Amino acid sequence: MASATHVGGRSENEDAICVAEVPPVGVGEAATEGGHLLAVADGMGGYQRGEVAAKMAIDTLREMFAEDPGADPALLLKQAFRRANEKIYENGLGTGQDAMMGTTLVAVVTHGKYVTIASIGDSRAYLARANRLTQITKDHTIVAEQVARGSMTEQEARESPHRNVLTHALGHRPKVESKLPDIFEITLLPEDRLLLCSDGLYDVVPDDEMLRALTEGAPEDAAQRLVDLAVSRNASDNVSAIVLAALPTREKPAVLETAGTGRTSFLLPAIAAVILILILAAVFFFAL
């Protein structure tokens, strides 16, 4: 587990992150393994209001998981997103320096290998598996909708000056739409790496370089490697990354190899035995 956040090219850091442990859920043999609550929030609004909104989202998540750690992760995530939205919206009802603010939020709960992801906005979760990088979350942006409709290519979306204009965020409306946040459930395989990040990272680091920084080298340095990479590319925005690495299993290579070599190792002695019997037979034959 590793995390890093950097002010990047801005004067304030309006990203906020959460890395916390969660206890097992359930009792007895039905209990899950303990795990983590991870989140990245990318706040927006003038006069440092983005910073306030991002922090509110993260604090609400932490509070709700501390209050009710045994609840179903997907349900608790949905409730936390709703409560965070209300708090941020109510706080942004004023005018002037208290004017509207908002934030993205991507949050992950893990219990052993079981992972639940919730997202609103354009902060992302990625999965690196078998040397491929997949974006798990959907961006709630105008350009992502255009790509989904086929009226814009992914490359055009990446280069659009409006690429960061959001269609959904926490704090912009009194209520979160009933279909939101998006919820994704995945099961980690050995050696998978899960990345949460703000747009400050993926705006300046292409996927192939992201995959390399994420997977090559020690997992505990991966978040810092990614943030350093974005900063070295003159990131104009705040940059945040959290990396969760699934443990390599002891059984995996052993099981695969046993399946492959099992027959061979059985076959070789058998062939050797047959040859030995033939030689012995020949020796006896000639001896007679």
Number of residues that bind Ca ion (CB under 5 A): 5
Nearest alpha-carbon partner for 85 in 165, 175, 177, 198: 175
Nearest alpha-carbon partner for 202 in 40, 35, 49: 40
Shortest separation between residue 103's beta carbon and Ca ion, angstroms: 10
Shortest separation between residue 164's beta carbon and Ca ion, angstroms: 7
> Of residues 128, 211, 237, 246, which one binds Ca ion by CB under 5 A?
237
Binding piece for Ca ion, criterion CB under 5 A, among 32-40, 76-84, 235-243, 275-283: 235-243
* 139 touches Ca ion by CB under 5 A: no
Binding piece for Ca ion, criterion CB under 5 A, among 19-27, 36-44, 95-103, 212-220: 36-44
Residue at 222: amino acid letter: A
235 class by beta-carbon count within 10 Å (0-12 exposed, 13-18 middle, 19+ buried)? buried
* 42 touches Ca ion by CB under 5 A: yes
Asked whether 90 and 108 are in contact (CB, 8 A), the reply is no
Asked whether 2 and 224 are in contact (CB, 8 A), the reply is yes
Nearest alpha-carbon partner for 230 in 274, 268, 197, 279: 197
Shortest separation between residue 204's beta carbon and Ca ion, angstroms: 11
Q: Sketch the per residue contact string, 171 through 210, with Ca ion: x for CB under 5 A, - otherwise.
A: ---------------------------xxx----------
How many distinct helices (H) and strands (E) make up the chain?
Answer: 8, 11
Residues near Ca ion (CB under 5 A)? 42, 198-200, 237
